């Protein structure tokens, strides 16, 4: 068999293998998201509702109106916290802001929320980002930012993050830098391809599905830099 014929036979097999790997990663990602939702519902929402139930039952034994009023105010505050947790879960899964108001307000809301809840310094710069873009592009851009920030906080232990967005003639340029511990990008990508991690692969696939490009560079003790471009004038 000639080398040319062998190469022709191997190419469809390689394409099929890649398609199977993508399907496997998507299924694994779906299961990971389901585990996250189940864990959040059980650990956060479930426990908070159980505490509310116990507190409400204890009100039956209170006869003093002043004490009863104080306990009711405490329960209202507790219920407000539960509602905020549910709202944040919903927004993390699918921020309605992006449908209603677009990418720029959604990013501002997200950065403000993360800064307020973690105390981490996030520097945000957006130039020429006043208009709306295709929803697919807006969602992909937001998800890349969300994944990068999440990785910087949870894994890299960063305390400073810089996010820059700029609209050019043909694309949106996104850059994200964090001062975290850094990592081996090549090893992480190989790890992800085996279905053991999803973040980097998910970012790459989201960007490429819009016709864009993404570069990820990192080094131990030197932080991580992500650069992505999203076309905005696709025919």
Rounded to whole angstroms, the Cα distance separating 70 from 54 reads 16
Q: How far is CA 101 from CA 97, 133, 231, in A?
A: 5, 11, 20
Q: Which domains are delineated in the chain?
A: 3-92 (1.20.5), 97-231 (3.30.565.10)
* CA 139 – CA 37 distance, rounded (Å): 20
Digitized pLDDT (tens) for each residue of the chain, 235 residues in all? 555 555 545 556 666 666 666 666 666 666 667 776 777 777 777 888 888 888 888 888 888 888 888 888 988 888 888 888 787 777 767 778 888 899 999 999 999 989 988 999 999 999 999 999 999 999 999 999 999 999 999 889 999 999 999 999 999 999 999 999 999 888 888 876 666 566 788 888 889 989 999 999 999 999 999 999 999 976 5
CA-CA-CA-CA torsion sign (86, 107, 151, 30) = positive
Tell me how far apart the alpha carbons of residues 172 and 150 are, in angstroms, rounded to a whole number: 21
Per-residue model confidence (pLDDT) at position 233: 76
CA nearest neighbour of 232 among 206, 208, 214, 212: 212
| Phi, psi dihedrals of residue 223, rounded to the nearest 5° | 85, -170
Residue 154 and residue 172: Cα distance in Å, rounded? 27
**Alpha-carbon distances, residue 7 vs 3, 13, 18, 88, 181 (angstroms):** 6, 10, 16, 51, 42
- HSE-up of 34 (CA within 13 Å, CB side)? 6
pLDDT of residue 64: 87
Rounded Cα–Cα distance for residues 75 and 68 (Å) = 11
Q: State the burial class of residue 2 (Cβ atoms within 10 Å of its Cβ: 0-12, 13-18, 19+).
A: exposed
């Amino acid at each position: 068999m000639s080398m040319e014929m062998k190469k022709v036979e191997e190419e469809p097999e390689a394409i099929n293998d890649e398609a199977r790997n993508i399907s496997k990663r998507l299924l694994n990602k779906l299961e990971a998201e389901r585990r996250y939702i189940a864990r959040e519902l059980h650990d956060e929402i479930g426990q908070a509702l159980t505490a509310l139930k116990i507190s409400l039952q204890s009100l039956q034994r209170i006869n003093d109106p002043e004490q009863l009023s104080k306990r009711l105010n405490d329960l209202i505050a507790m219920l407000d916290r539960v509602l905020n947790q549910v709202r944040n879960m919903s927004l993390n899964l699918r921020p309605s802001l992006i449908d209603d108001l677009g990418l720029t307000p959604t990013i501002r809301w997200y950065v403000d929320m993360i800064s307020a809840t973690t105390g981490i310094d996030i520097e945000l710069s957006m130039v020429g980002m006043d208009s709306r873009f295709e929803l697919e592009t807006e969602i992909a851009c937001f998800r890349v930012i969300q994944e990068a920030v999440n990785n910087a906080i949870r894994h890299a232990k960063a305390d400073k993050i810089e996010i820059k967005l700029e609209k050019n003639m043909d694309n949106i340029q996104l850059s994200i830098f964090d001062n975290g511990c850094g990592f081996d990008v090549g090893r992480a990508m190989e790890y992800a391809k085996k279905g053991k991690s999803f973040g980097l692969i998910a970012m790459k696939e989201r960007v490429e599905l819009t016709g864009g490009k993404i570069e990820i560079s990192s080094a131990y003790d030197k932080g991580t830099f992500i650069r992505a471009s999203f076309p905005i004038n696709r025919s």
